[in-house]
Amino acid sequence: MILVNRRYRFSASHRLHVDALDEAANDEIFGKCNNPFGHGHNYELEVTVHGEIDPVTGRAVQLDRLDELVGRSVIDRYDHRYLNEELPEFAQTVPTTENLGKEIVRRLRAAWPSGFPHLERISIFETPRNIFLIGPTE
């Protein structure tokens, strides 16, 4: 068994704000990330797939299929977007990188072809200092 990691990039912006909380609470929890106009990041996404090496091709995952899958489900959807305003999934849900990661896992799982090697986890680098790992929960 082998884990194959492949990295992708996208740039987006978000604002961390919860309507149900008052200003003081938003400020305390999110600090300058609560700025009303949002701010942005170069997100780096690592997709980790758990496969077996095919005895004929020597490959554990067909990378062009993975690229197509991640490109269509994630990169095309989030690259160069303002997450709060443009994505319905973040209309009611605050687009922290935690929630963004959860949503990316949900989208990958929904689009994942049967028979494709198992999706093990994703990692999102919000910045080089802040990295989130999320595994698909069933």
Q: Which of 27, 33, 75, 116 binds a second copy (CB under 8 A)?
A: 33
- Kindly tell me which of 73 and 83 has the beta carbon lying closer to a second copy: 83
Query: Interface with a second copy includes 75 (CB under 8 A)?
Result: no
Query: Interface with a second copy includes 27 (CB under 8 A)?
Result: no
Q: Is 80 a catalytic residue?
A: yes
**Beta carbon of residue 108, minimum distance to a second copy (angstroms, whole number):** 15
3-state secondary structure the chain: CEEEEEEEEEEEEECCCCCCCCHHHHHHHHHHHHCCCCEEEEEEEEEEEEECCCCCCCCCCCHHHHHHHHHHHHHHHHCCEEHHHHCHHHCCCCCCHHHHHHHHHHHHHHHCCCCCCEEEEEEEEEECCEEEEECCCC
**Beta carbon of residue 138, minimum distance to a second copy (angstroms, whole number):** 12
Q: Which of 11, 22, 72, 109 binds a second copy (CB under 8 A)?
A: 11
**Beta carbon of residue 114, minimum distance to a second copy (angstroms, whole number):** 20
- Number of Cβ atoms within 10 Å of the Cβ of 54: 12
- Within 116-135, the residues that bind a second copy by CB under 8 A are 127-135
Beta-sheet pairing, 81-82 with 2-14:
parallel
What value does the CA radius of gyration of the chain take, rounded to a whole number of Å?
17
Give the residue numbers annotated as catalytic, written as ranges: 33, 80, 126
Which residues form the interface with a second copy (CB under 8 A)? Answer: 1-9, 11-14, 16, 18, 20-21, 29-33, 35, 37-42, 46, 53, 56-60, 62-64, 79-82, 85-86, 93-96, 98-99, 101-102, 127-135, 137
